[in-house]
Structure 1
Amino acid sequence: MFDAPAELLLAVPEYKVPLPGGTTQSQNDVFALVRHADQTCATMIEGKVNEPFDKTVSEWLSIPKDGKLLRLRYICELLGLDPENPPLHLRYQLLHRSASALIEARRFKTDEAAMIVHSFSPTSMWFEDFARFANLLGASVEPDQSSTVKTKSGQRLRLGWATGNADFLAA
């Protein structure tokens, strides 16, 4: 996923990142600080087997709650997307996990942020949703490689799909 050998500096499971517009935080499977060459990266890792990336933005918005529009606007602006025309067809989880990475990259003053999907699906289930999301941000992705985009704010965001070892699925 990184251009040089990576060194894990810190990993925190079930890491929560506050987002404006409500009381629910973005709960990431793993937050990791990673060093590669002379760069440090704030990384959010989303583990998957066969489950989807939760609801589409359209489905998420259909359940009225205070602050959802504020939250979506904030996430869109952070990712460099048009807040007046949010990507209703994309999976909301991909948006807020990537936003979490950018938020923590700012907080920890890292060189870049990353949102990595660690998929244990033997068929790469839901990769198409991830690829659509990456394409919207200007990235072209392939399994087991990463792609980096620069947000409008100047932050670098690395997106990647890591294929997990299927042996870990056997009990």
Structure 2
Amino acid sequence: MFDGLVELLLALPEHNVALDGGNRDSQNDVFALIRYGDQTRAATIEGKVSEPFGPPVGEWFAQSSQQKRDRMRQLCGLLCLDEVPPSHIRYQLMHRDEAAMIVHSFSPTRMWFEEFASFARLLGAEAERDQSSTVTLKSGQRLRLGWATGNEDFLAC
């Protein structure tokens, strides 16, 4: 997925990240600190088989309480979006805002890749399976997005 050798420095499973609004933190399957080349980066990894990336933003935001408005404002700010994203974008993808956001999919039918690709396009990136793409947000922060296909043999366990 990245050019050259990638070294895992730290991995924290089920890592929570506090966000404004709402009743819960954002939970990442794995928070990782990785090194590739001369760069050290933080990454969140979302493991998937069949489950979706949460409800679409339009559904999640339909009954928008003040807490949801606060959370959406913070998420849009982190991702340098000027407005609430289109209603079809999946909410769970909105709160993955580290230097790298990687989906590790074990789905034999590649479920939910199109939703991930739609989110990447929202940020100005093109998503391809087993490739990473980098987008520079309006803030100047670089965000690397990636979809990694897991070995289906692990589903047989």
Provide the residue aligned with 1:28 in structure 2: 28
Provide the residue aligned with 2:91 in structure 1: 92
Q: What is the aligned counterpart of 1:115 among 83, 101, 112?
A: 101
Q: What is the CA distance between 1:29 and its match in structure 2?
A: 0.2
Give the whole-Å Cα distance in 1 for the aligned partners of 2:105 and 2:94: 17
Q: What is the aligned counterpart of 1:154 among 127, 140, 148?
A: 140
Aligned residue pairs, count: 157
Q: What is the CA distance between 1:141 and its match in structure 2?
A: 1.2
Structure number with higher helix proportion: 1
Give the whole-Å Cα distance in 2 for the aligned partners of 1:157 and 1:65: 29
Q: What is the CA distance between 1:64 and its match in structure 2?
A: 4.6
Gaps of 5+ in 2: none
Give the whole-Å Cα distance in 1 for the aligned partners of 2:87 and 2:28: 22
Q: What is the CA distance between 1:62 and its match in structure 2?
A: 2.7
> What letter is aligned with 2:36?
H
Alignment of 1:1-171 (within 5 A): 1-83=1-83, 85-97=84-96, 99=97, 101=98, 113-171=99-157
Give the whole-Å Cα distance in 2 for the aligned partners of 1:64 and 1:76: 15
TM-score, structure 1 normalization: 0.88
Identity, % of aligned positions: 66
Q: What is the CA distance between 1:76 and its match in structure 2?
A: 0.9
Gaps of 5+ in 1: 102-112
Deviations 1:31-90 (A, max 9, x none): 00000000011100000001111100111113454411111011112112122x432210
> What letter is aligned with 2:53?
F
TM-score, structure 2 normalization: 0.95
- SS class of match (2:3): coil
Give the whole-Å Cα distance in 2 for the aligned partners of 1:168 and 1:143: 19
> What letter is aligned with 2:93?
L
Moved more, 57-66 or 5-14: 57-66
